[in-house]
């Protein structure tokens, strides 16, 4: 059923517009505000408090004040708060989905998918909260006992991007809660509404005041800079672009902070001559069009064996060409808008440059006229290997196809990037799939699969795609440090 204006209005009225500090919603200390817009229409959805550097420090003060008590809560208690939050988000899935569609643009069906994925981190880490264990052992010379314990790292600064407003937040907040850390969250200013609604759920689930604090701001560097320099902060977890990540790492080094960096990607999608081409096209639709291509895991380069390239390109073009760009709240929508005009202009520049280099647009290749920042689903073939579109993150619904002849050539092309987040490999030969996986410099591999994200798996990259892992058994470790206690020989008198 189509969403009504009344439903949208009713939902937006539930979203707090202030800063969330010490368990209370408050205005910016300067009184400043900023507008959050719907990328499908360009219209303002809500006006939010715009934090100042002083507000940022107040949020850290609240996190620091709450840290000692929070670290002492029973792991089960922390787990149960997360589990209640999972139940609440799940019960309100339609609301969270609609809010993400409104502020970020993705079609409602996809937004529902993100609610499931994002909520799963709450359930997963509710279970992990009680499993952060250490060990006790006898020293090799028998003269001492070694007690190894896991402790929360302390107050964290979490910075999230706009493309997955719920999941990028829960992927950090849930393990921090499970580990016993307090935090300041700085959501992307393009999509801050989901985090604010989520904070009300955590309050309802029983999260004590000060454990989570949220500062929305249009001056990210000015507000987070002093926190990163503050000796009371112990960890920085960032998801976003590689250039910003590099600068944050440099700043974090001055305070010797623990860091987790989930940065950009340039995923290769390899289709071998023995692949099930129909399955590869299904996988490509997911790997390319999920989130309109605005995902760090989006397939950015389609490397296809020359013997199946024409068939693959034609089938993919048919599927991509059949998508319907429309506001995500409309039932017919299968392709939402890009996040803003700047992003759309960049996507079109990359496409135009590739065509100038000699690539052929099999389908698409242009923005959609009218309101919002829509761009047509596009397939480019015969893309020259030197084309800029193969070097940069496209972050749009554009699939450039390059052909290869041998396995060695495919591996060389795939690894020819500064990024190393994820790769996709389609082949019917399991040995080949595993062999290629071992040769690719990536943190994750989709083998005959177009999606790898899973709360139970370690998500993250190598090279310029970042440091650390989120989710899986590894996820909570990012928020724990190891303390060792040396104990004298209990048998010595
Ligand atoms: P971005 O421009 O790097 O921004 C990410 C976050 O950092 C936002 O909250 C942003 O705030 C903040 N920020 C920007 N400049 C900052 C500064 N100087 N100091 C502190 N914070 C700062 O990235 P984006 O455009 O939002 O997101 C897209 C990027 O994220 C892509 O490169 C994508 O690949 C990457 N990403 C990676 C993963 C992963 O898991 N590896 C997942 C999703 C996205 P404002 O919004 O206020 O500018």
The pLDDT tens digits for 177-190 are 999 999 999 999 99
Tell whether ligand 1 has an atom less than 6 A from the beta carbon of residue 265: yes
Give the pLDDT score at 323: 98
- In 10 A of CB 335, how many CB atoms? 24
Contact 228, 430 (CB under 8 A): no
**How confident is the model at residue 166, as a pLDDT?**
98
Q: Tokens representing 434?
A: 């595993």
Q: Return the best residue to mutate from 118, 169, 194, 240 for the ligand 1 pocket (most ligand atoms within 8 A of CB).
A: 240
Average pLDDT over the chain, rounded to whole? 98
Mutate to test the pocket of ligand 1, among 225, 244, 347 (most ligand atoms within 8 A of CB): 244
Q: Which is the closest atom of ligand 1 to the Cα of 161?
A: 26
CA-atom Rg of the chain in angstroms: 23
* CATH placement of domain 5-263+466-482: 3.40.605.10
Domain ranges of the chain: 5-263+466-482, 267-454
Mean pLDDT across 41-64: 98
DSSP codes of every residue in 210-272: TSEEE---S-HHHHHHHHHH-TT--EEEEES-HHHHHHHHHHHHHTT-EEEEE----EEEEE-
Q: Could you tell me the distance, in angstroms and rounded to a whole number, from the CA of residue 284 to the centre of ligand 1?
A: 25
Predicted local distance difference test score (pLDDT) of residue 65? 99
CATH topology of domain 267-454: Aldehyde Dehydrogenase; Chain A, domain 2 (3.40.309)
What's the pLDDT at 284?
Answer: 98
Give the H or E element holding residue 316: helix 309-321
- Residue 225's pLDDT is 98
pLDDT tens sequence across 222-240: 999 999 999 999 999 999 9
* pLDDT bracket for residue 1 (50, 70, 90): low
pLDDT in tens, 96-117: 999 999 999 999 999 999 999 9
21 closest CA partner among 54, 74, 70, 60: 60
- Compute, in angstroms, the gap from residue 222 CA to the centroid of ligand 1: 15
Question: Please, which residues have CB within 8 angstroms of residue 64's CB and are 6 or more apart in sequence?
Answer: 155, 182, 232
What is the Å distance from ligand 1's center to 238 Cα? 8
Can you tell me the mean pLDDT for 262-287?
98
First to last CA, the chain: 78
Please identify every residue annotated as catalytic. 262, 296
Using one digit for the tens of pLDDT, what is the confidence trace for 455-487?
Answer: 999 999 999 999 999 999 999 999 999 999 999
> Which residue's alpha carbon is at the smallest distance from atom 18 of ligand 1?
221
Q: What pLDDT, in 10s, does the model give residues 305-334?
A: 999 999 999 999 999 999 999 999 999 999
Nearest atom (ligand 1) to Cα of 247: 18
244 lines ligand 1 (CB under 6 A): yes
Ligand 1, atom 9, lies closest to the CA of 188
**Dihedral (Cα; 47, 53, 54, 57), 10-degree rounding:** 110
- Is the CB–ligand 1 distance for residue 206 below 6 Å? no
Interval between CA 344 and ligand 1 midpoint (Å): 17
């Amino acid at each position: 059923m189509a969403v009504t204006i009344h439903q949208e209005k009713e939902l937006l009225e539930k979203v707090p517009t202030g800063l969330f500090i010490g368990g209370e919603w408050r205005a910016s200390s300067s009184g400043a505000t900023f507008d959050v817009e719907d990328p499908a229409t360009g219209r303002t959805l809500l006006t939010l408090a715009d934090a100042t550097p002083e507000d940022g420090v107040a949020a850290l003060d609240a996190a620091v004040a709450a840290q000692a008590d929070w670290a002492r809560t029973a792991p089960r208690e922390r787990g149960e708060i997360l589990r209640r939050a999972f139940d609440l988000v799940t019960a309100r899935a339609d609301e969270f989905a609609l809010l993400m569609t409104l502020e970020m643009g993705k079609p409602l069906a996809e937004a529902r998918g993100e609610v499931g994925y994002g909520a799963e981190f709450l359930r997963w880490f509710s279970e992990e909260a009680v499993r952060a264990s250490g060990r006790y052992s006898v020293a090799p010379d028998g003269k001492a006992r070694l007690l190894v314990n896991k402790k929360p790292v302390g107050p964290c600064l979490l910075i999230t991007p706009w493309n997955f407003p719920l999941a990028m937040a829960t992927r950090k907040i849930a393990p921090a809660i499970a580990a016993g850390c307090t935090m300041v969250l700085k959501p992307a200013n393009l999509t801050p509404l989901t985090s604010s609604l989520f904070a009300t759920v955590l309050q309802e689930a029983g999260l004590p005041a000060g454990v989570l604090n949220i500062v929305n701001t249009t001056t990210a560097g000015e507000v987070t800079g002093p926190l990163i320099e503050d000796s009371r902060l112990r960890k920085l977890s960032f998801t976003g672009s590689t250039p910003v990540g590099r600068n944050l790492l440099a700043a974090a080094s001055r305070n010797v902070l623990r860091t987790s960096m989930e940065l950009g990607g340039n995923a290769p999608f390899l289709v071998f001559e023995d692949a099930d081409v129909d399955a590869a096209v299904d996988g490509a639709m997911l790997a390319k069009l999920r989130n309109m291509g605005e995902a760090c895991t989006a397939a950015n380069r389609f490397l296809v064996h020359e013997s199946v390239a024409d068939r693959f390109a034609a089938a993919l073009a048919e599927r991509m060409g059949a998508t319907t760009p429309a506001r995500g709240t409309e039932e017919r929508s299968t392709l939402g808008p890009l996040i803003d005009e700047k992003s759309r202009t960049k996507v079109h520049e990359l496409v135009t440059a590739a065509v100038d280099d000699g690539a052929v647009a099999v389908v698409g290749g242009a923005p959609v006229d009218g309101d919002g920042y829509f761009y047509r689903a596009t397939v480019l073939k015969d893309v020259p290997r030197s084309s800029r579109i193969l070097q940069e993150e496209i972050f749009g619904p554009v699939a450039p196809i390059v052909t290869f002849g041998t396995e060695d050539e495919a591996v060389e092309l795939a690894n020819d990037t500064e990024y190393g987040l994820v790769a996709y490999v389609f082949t019917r030969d399991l040995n080949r799939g595993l062999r290629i996986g071992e040769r690719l410099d990536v943190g994750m591999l989709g083998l005959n699969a177009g999606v790898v994200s899973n709360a139970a798996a370690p998500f993250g990259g190598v090279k310029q795609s970042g440091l650390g892992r989120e989710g899986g058994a590894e996820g909570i470790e990012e928020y724990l440090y190891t303390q060792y206690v040396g104990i004298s020989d209990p048998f010595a008198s």
